[in-house]
Amino acid sequence: MQAPVISWYDANASRLAVAYEAVPPTITRDWLADLLPAPPAVIIDVGAGTGRDAGAYAGAGYEVIAIEPSTAMRAEAEARYPSPRIRWLTDSLPTLTTASRSGVAADVVSLSAVWQHVAPADRPRAFRKLVGLLRSGGLLVMTLRHGPDDGRGGHQVGLAEVETLARNHGMQMVRAVPSPDLQGRPNISWTAVVLRLPDDGTGALPLLRHLILQDAKSATYKLGLLRALCRAADGSAGLAEDDGDDHIRLPLGLVALNWLRLYLPLVKAGLPQTPTNHRGSEGLGFAGPGWLALAAGALSPLDLRPGAVLGEAPNQVLHEALREATDHIVRMPANYLKFPGGAQILETTRARASHRSGSLVVDGIYLSAFGTMRVPRHLWTAMQRFAVWVEPALISEWMRLTQGYAATQGRTVDTGALAAAMTWSGPVRDVALPRARALALMESRTAVHCVWSGKRLAPDTLDVDHCLPWSAWPCSDLWNLMPAHRRVNQHSKRERLPSAEALQQAGAAIADWWAAAYLQPEDQVLPIRFASEARASLPGLSGAGAVREPDVRVAMALQRTRLRQDQGVPEWMWHS
């Protein structure tokens, strides 16, 4: 949205709030009410204004992501509707950069009195972005304003244009209802439009099925690359950058880091990755000196992650192993993964990363120094939303290939050992550091409280809780680990997502814990690790400087919504 439009709303927010709040919210309109999914479906309200619609949706039990580019309008809205079920984002059409990066798939995307502010030349792009926010079967709800502009910066709109855009994106017109202006302006009228997306329309899932099951393979490398991308989409999506509307760009070092972490336990277990890979690293295209040092135990697989802090010797080993892996990925699987028509799917740009002496923080800047990988957005979005189904398919086919290679070598593979080597995360949840920090604070007579109940903790009642549960999303980043009373953690919350209300209620306690445990100014390590991990795993956080605590909490809440929406993880609400 153009800056003059946003400035006009900033200047007129107080006056507009009175007029907007006098109009019944969209959820009550006859043309929409019977079509809405049941709560707690996810609604994205684009151009939320003073929050009238967002507040009504939240009040009815929906989860709402409210997008508003005007600072003054958003301030009015947050003051009027302080609901824990509303997450406010600063974003705007035609790009919707932050909303797209979040990975949340909405049941309804709503634009009330917004489309006229999108310039006609930008509308195809804007419409494509809106469709990209919808899950299969989702509704796109628009109200089209007809009449002269009153100085705020509007363009003519028409139903025929919207119908054409809908057809181009495979959407069905469900309803188009004309109506007078509810503010009583005689020269203004409206058309309410409801569109439905029958399926995602991208072809990403059929493409993945083709690549996983039907594409010719002479090694496990294509599957390794696809799984490395899938792990990035699920766990490190914060490191993806927009590259136009149809692609994202990843640090090539991140892809290689995941690659190393995937292959290390397989090779250590002696599981063949090509027909001629008889023993250990023998014959593997990426097995240079760096890889061999990794295989000899220079680092563990759990050290191979964004946010890790490494000393000089492991830093040197990792740098060499990443260089070898990126060279191999570019030459082999990225070069041979093709669309059915023959075009290359993944475009890579290599860079010569200089080795950094001393200790190393494995962050996005470092991983980008090896180059970048350009990934089609529809493929990336499918991996974000459906990783819980895509990755098992990759693992199943990878296991089948490995067993086949072993059979040609005259040996059998123990299925249990193969499955164990395929496991991404370690068998034990890594909570040692936050536990040690909590105990150290207690020893110094600093109170440590359960973030959920508020009760003061003692060493024998202390548990470390994965706020977003491990069973749904194995993430041991510092921001996700927080103190909880053992009874609350083991007998109440357990493996459930905190509800929006629970997360808001615990917000101050979570911020206090982060500040005391991880973000002390005199600490030279943990604040950097905290920021690096949050930027990697939580889409929407970027940049090289310190992250802001409120931004981390908003990003965490968006990730909570994504897990509930995509995986149906049950929710939990604290009751004293």
Note the pLDDT of residue 181.
86
Please, where in the chain does CATH 3.40.50.150 lie?
3-197
Paired tokens of 425: 């995360």
The residue-averaged pLDDT of 303-332 equals 95
The residue-averaged pLDDT of 349-362 equals 90
Q: Are 549 and 477 in contact (CB under 8 A)?
A: no
Asked if the model's pLDDT at residue 244 lies above 60, the reply is: yes
What's the chain's length in residues? 576
Band of the pLDDT at 167, cuts 50, 70, 90? confident
Q: Which CATH class is domain 3-197?
A: alpha beta
Asked if the model's pLDDT at residue 199 lies above 70, the reply is: no
Residue that wins the pLDDT comparison between 231 and 539: 231
Helix, strand, coil shares of the chain, percent, nearest 5, are 45, 15, 35
User: Please, what sign has the CA dihedral across residues 292, 280, 254, 341?
Assistant: positive
Pair type for strands 247-251 and 347-350: unpaired
Note the pLDDT of residue 446.
96
Give dist(CA 72, CA 47) in Å, integer: 13
Give dist(CA 321, CA 289) in Å, integer: 7
One-letter amino acid identity for 518?
Y
The residue-averaged pLDDT of 518-546 equals 84
Alpha-helical regions (H) of 34-182: 52-59, 71-80, 97-102, 123-132, 159-168
Band of the pLDDT at 474, cuts 50, 70, 90? confident
| Percent of the chain residues past pLDDT 70, beyond the cut | 97
- Three-state DSSP at 138 gives strand
Kindly report the pTM of this predicted structure: 0.84
Cβ count near 521 (within 10 Å): 7
Paired tokens of 273: 């990755």
Q: Are 472 and 494 in contact (CB under 8 A)?
A: no
Give dist(CA 391, CA 370) in Å, integer: 25
Band of the pLDDT at 520, cuts 50, 70, 90? very high
Note the pLDDT of residue 425.
62
| Percent of the chain residues past pLDDT 90, beyond the cut | 75
Q: Are 66 and 77 in contact (CB under 8 A)?
A: yes
Asked if the model's pLDDT at residue 398 lies above 80, the reply is: yes
**Structure letter (DSSP) for residue 263:** H
Integer Rg of the chain from CA: 25
**Which residues are within 8 A (CB) of 234 and not within 5 positions of it... i.e. 6 or more apart?**
383, 384, 387, 391, 473
Asked if the model's pLDDT at residue 427 lies above 50, the reply is: no
Lowest mean pLDDT among 89-98, 453-462, 521-530, 536-545: 536-545
Q: Are 246 and 377 in contact (CB under 8 A)?
A: yes
